[in-house]
Amino acid sequence: MREGPAFRWFRRAGLTFLTLFTVLPLYVVVSSSIKPLADVEGTFSWIPERVTLAPYLDAWTTVPLARYVANTLVVSLASAALSLPVAVLAAYALARFAFAGRRAFRLVVLSTQMVPGILFLVPLFLLFTQVHAWFGVELVGSRPGLVITFLTFSLPLSIWMLTGYLAGLPREIEEAAMVDGLGYVGVVWRIVVPLATPAIVAVGVFAFIIGWGEVLFASVLTDSETRTLSIGLRGFASESTVQWNQLMAAAVLASLPVVLGFLLLQRHLMRGLASGLAP
């Protein structure tokens, strides 16, 4: 069925509106980050009259931005790195083996994505408190506690996304490798992982983003030394006197790792997303 001119016009208008709705706030953040504070607090202007990079330099001294970035990088990378190998093995088992309880396990994995995350907050906090009481291991206010918390969300998502992709891979290649003497572990790491690289990269990026931008659990399970970037910026924004240009500069800096990671991995990421994680 051919598209009429009215439909094309409405589609273009809708896409233009969505683009402006997304781009304009980002432009305001970036433009405010290169303005002096007086210009930011004064009359708003779309084009900066004076441009300065001082907010980017001052943001590192006004707030402990380096510590926030380091904490966030450590917990985000650790949660992504730990979830990927476990997710690959679990997804391969779900995609290839008909074992008892497979349907129930897949249902449990999927159901975790349907439950609001806030419902896990109190149980996780109580569990971490009991672990400290029983074993003397401090998880509240520690980086390992955050890594475990982020794993509870990234791991089910990673398993669910990879299962469909691995189920669509041809079995003949794996069977030929087994005939040549490879076991299941060798098949997974030498055959399946290279074939599923786009999906694994996409899942790894999603797992990293979960840890990078998480606010709710990090606000409860961190202290002043383990505070992540999102919590640090929220605290900076709630101060009585806010340096808005520095806050905008810090927000730009906070988004750079995700943007740079996407640019570096976009070939694999787009292949994984274009395939729908199910070839």
**Percent with pLDDT over 90 in the chain:** 24
Q: What is the pTM of this model?
A: 0.83
**Domain range summary for the chain, segments of one domain joined by +:** 56-274
Instruction: Assign a CATH topology to domain 56-274.
Output: MetI-like fold (1.10.3720)
| pLDDT tens digit sequence for 49-80 | 888 999 998 888 888 888 999 999 999 999 99
Residue 115 burial (CB count, 10 A): 9
> Are 191 and 182 contacting, i.e. CB atoms less than 8 angstroms apart?
yes
pLDDT digits (tens, 9 = 90+) for 176-223: 888 888 888 888 888 899 988 888 988 888 889 888 988 889 988 888
- Measured distance CA(28)–CA(26) in Å, rounded: 5
